[in-house]
Structures are given as structure tokens and as C-alpha cells.
Structure 1
Amino acid sequence: MSVSYSIPTAARTWTLALFALAGCASPPDDSGDGTLNTTSTDSTSVADTSSSTTGSTTAVDPTTGPLTGDTLATTEELTSSTTAESTGVLPDDPGPECDPWTQDCPEGQKCMPYAGDGGPSWNALKCVDVAPDPDGLGEPCTVVGSPVSGLDSCDEGLMCWDVDADTQMGACVAMCTGSPDEPVCADPSTHCAVSGGGALILCIPGCDPLDQPCPDGDVCIPNPDDPESFVCAPDVSGPEGQTFDPCEYVNECDAGNLCLPPVLAGECDPMILGCCLAYCDITQPNTCTGQGLECIPWFPEGLAPPTLETVGFCGLP
């Protein structure tokens, strides 16, 4: 899912636009074999929306659209002015790619995602030196030059996340372990979120979109790597993000809203990439605002995980 950073507040010059929309967020499908799956696409036009009957309501799959991918980016331009004195690692030319799941770099180094094309998104991997006296899980940390440089002060298996614009400091979060087929997060309150074509693998706090138990400045969005979970990601909406506002990324809407294809509401401009629509509780179906909008279940009937059975979104049936 292509994602980009924006500047939601003066306190942050970059934020995680986790789970970019290019297939937009999509509710899980019933694949027919008891498994769940999500879809993303790089198409440039809005595709027809499919639906499956779930009793008296319809579980709409608002997947396809001109929104793509799984790439995280930042609007902060990469700079070479910041030195690596604070971490002991230098932003020199990367060596061969590495595997973040196995951390197969030489001793004293770690496998890190970075912007391999010099752009604003994590899309490649490289070995970098682990900082002397590195910061541990949950501890404050610093980045070098840019959040997408691949250089930070965290220990092996950790990455500096949610960086403050003024201080260039964030907190070390765990990278997923296990494998792409069986990702593992040691903290049961987090979920593995994979983006950037598999370059970025992070254990992100889970949440309930109807309760929004995320830290201030974060929003609750679907996890593209695990259709049974929602995760917290920084709100990149800035002054926009209200219901029916345009958006490009799943976390570009205010808390309580989700960026979905504009075909799901008549109030949305059909020419935009995405449109902010509200989450809703399917047990309270008359809460949606907008002409003809109904509370549509996020999960097909019988496939919602515990505590998320009533999650829905406002859209055209």
C-alpha cells in the first residue's frame, strides 16, 4: 500500500502513513476455505465493489481503487546535513540486501529498512552498524538524517518509531520475528504490520476502531497484514480528515473515520483517490450520516474475531 507522510502538527514533520491506500483498506473476505484475506491493487481506476450477503446486511469489500500498496513514506526530504555522531553509524553506500526476519547481518550490525531509491519511503533493506550502547525496547531513541535513512540508535531487532520533528527522537519498537508466513510479536498487545513490499516489519499496538484506544495523535486503522486486527498509527490528516473529506491513506482521516474508495458515498467526490467515511457499530445501524448510507459490517458474518464483532463502516449498501 503506497503510503506517504504528512505534517499533521507542528510537533511532527513526519508521521507514519501506515497502510497506504492503493487498494485502500479492505474488509476481510471469506475465501471459501475458512481463511481470511485482504486485497490491494495498483489499478488507476476505481473497480466495481463486490459484496457478500450477511443476513440482513451486506459485507462490502471496498478494496480496489486507484489507491495502492504497502509503502510507508515521509514528506520530509532526505538530507545529508545530519551527522551520525549520535549513533555511531554512517549513511554510506549500502551493501547487499539482508533479511529482517532472520537478522542475517554480520556481528555488530542489524538489518534495517530504508529508502533505497533516495525517496521518502521504506522500500529496501541494508545492514547498518548497531549503535554503541544501543537503546532498548520502549526506550527513547534518535534517527540519523531522516526516518527512512535506516540509521537509528536502537538495538538489533528494534527500530526508532514515531519520531518527533524537533528532537528527532522517538521510541524503539520491536520488529516482527518468525517468518512472513508466520509473523510473531512477543508483546500480545501488538500485531505484526508488514509494509514497503516486506521491507518494514513492525509490531504495532492493537486497537478497537469503535473505542479508539490509541495514544493521542494516533488513529485506529486496519492491519493490512492481518485482516483480523486493527492497529494504531499516527494521524496524518492535519486540518482535514473529517467525514467525506478527501484522503489517500488509511490513516489520513480523523479518529473514528477511515479512508475508503469514494464510490462508497454520494457525498464523496468520485474523482478523488479516497474519502473519509465513519466507522459505526452494526448494532446501532441508524447512526450513519449521509444519503443512503448504512452501517456495513467490516467482517463477513461469523468471521469477526472476538471483541470486533460489531465493527462496521458507513457506506452505500
Structure 2
Amino acid sequence: MKREIIVGSRKSKLALTQTGHVISALQAKFPDVTFKIHEIVTKGDRILDVTLSKVGGKGLFVSEVEQALVDKKIDFAVHSMKDVPSELQEGLTIGAIPKRESPYDCVVFAEKTNLDELPQGAVIGTSSLRRASMLKRYRADFQIKSIRGNIDTRLKKLYAEDFDAILLAEAGLSRMGWLSDETLRRQTLDATTCLPAVGQGALAIECRNDDAEVLAMLSEIHDTETAFCVRAERAFLKTLNGGCEIPIAGFAQKEADGGLVFTGFVGSVDGLTRLDVQTSGDTPETIGIEAANILLKQGAKELIDALRSL
């Protein structure tokens, strides 16, 4: 490949770090290719004074990036998979899904080191309705306070504002190289306590579906096992027509025999209502769709419609 490759990325420190990791992996395999990052500000980056659920719409962190792909201003884009809507713009495809980082959520504390050590009425920061629902189910006394901004901004707010703790994706801390920071008081939450978001910990590398050169290049960093799991999770999300305004989670794990076990949930923000499901099988899309249909029969559509009406 001889042409210069323009890579689209959000301007946040984490997004640029993730994009840098992808470029490094590709550069090792294609040393003669020149890569250049094109920074893009998305709607989700511009509107920081309200929760994501109130901003509304899908693709808050990807729509402008996708448009740059359609307009051929960039050749591919690096997204956090959990930000990517289940429906892509026409003419675009996910060209590669690299190996997944930790899919789990992580609590970072101002002073304590465990959720159970927090006092009654502790204030926990998150802009995710999924995380809020999980926390309220774990302990109804927790006070959930919205917190927006890049990962480094949220960490600064933890210490500067009235928070006992905040929730972050552990993958982001890992990619930033902060998990080795011994001063960071943190606790990884297992899937039983806080079920991960669809695609959490995975990256999506999106490109035009007719760009054979880029597709061939991206295939070199594609991880089939990660993609196998993410396919089930995204099929679940698509069938439920989920988005950031709904407390929804879906997490697939590959078994030793090659099959998948999928766990999903839809709940209320206060944690009082929660619909849970677990399915297993060999075909990712079938497993995800089956799980979604089980929840729909349990009343998930009515719950989702009620949440959207708010």
C-alpha cells in the first residue's frame, strides 16, 4: 500500500491514545505506510453540561466521524465499540475489531478502596444509566451524580468536587497506562455486580466497505475471538433497539468448547426493575437475538418505551 492513510479520531486524550495503539500495530506490519491522525470533535464531546441520555440520539461520539468517512476525508476511524450504534451509515463497515481489553467497570475512590467501605448516601459519579442502575441495585442508598468529560477530566473532578467515587471503564485506564499507578484507589467490578456495556473494552475500526486496500490492511489486526463475542452483544442491542438513554447491558464470553455464554439485562435507572437473561450456543447473532427476544417477552419493550418517553 503506497498511499498515505488518514485515520479519524475523537480529540480526547483516551481516543487519541487508542488510535495511536492501532496505528502502532499497523505500522509494525506495514512499515512503508504513512499514517496521519485527523482529529474530529463529535456532538457528544461538545455537549458536556447534561447527561448523555438527555443529549438524545444514537452515535453521539461517532456520527461526525462516520460523515468524514463518507466524505472521504479519512480512510478509517478508531472508535470505542460501545459508542458505535448497531446500524452503521450506508457504505461503511467495521473492518477490524482488535483484541479486547478488560470489559469490566472500575470504581475509582477519593479515599476508600471498596464499595462496601463507602458511607451511607455516598456520592458516586457516572453519566451511564446502566452503571447507575447497577449501583442502585447493589446499594439503594448510593447517590448517583452525573459526571461528564474525558477520562482525565473525570478523575480530576473526583478529587476536586463532591464525589466519594466515580465509575470508569477499566479498559480506558489500562490503555492510558494508569492501572500501574499505586496511588489510584480502585476496585474492578465483576460482571455480577456491574454487567458490562455492549462492546465495552473492544475497539471498532470503521472504514468504507468498498476500500479493498484498507480492508486488507485492517484484517491483519482483527481478533476473531473478540469479534465472535461482540457479534452476539451487538445483535442483542440491535434487536432491543437500545441506546445510551436505556440502562442496558450485554456481555458474551467464549467457552473452552468454542461456544458462547451471553448475559444481558434491561433495567430501570433506580435499580428497582431489572430483567435478566442468559443464553448460550454456537452462533453469535442467534444467541444475542434469542436473549433480546426473551427480554422482550418479559416486558423489555414496555420498559424501554417508558424510559424513552421521559
Comparing both structures, which one devotes a greater share of its residues to helix? Answer: 2
Q: Which has the higher strand share?
A: 1
Higher relative contact order, structure no. (Cα contacts within 8 Å, ≥ 6 residues apart): 2
Q: What is the TM-score with the length of structure 1 in the denominator?
A: 0.23
Query: Could you state the TM-score of these two structures normalised by the residue count of structure 2?
Result: 0.24
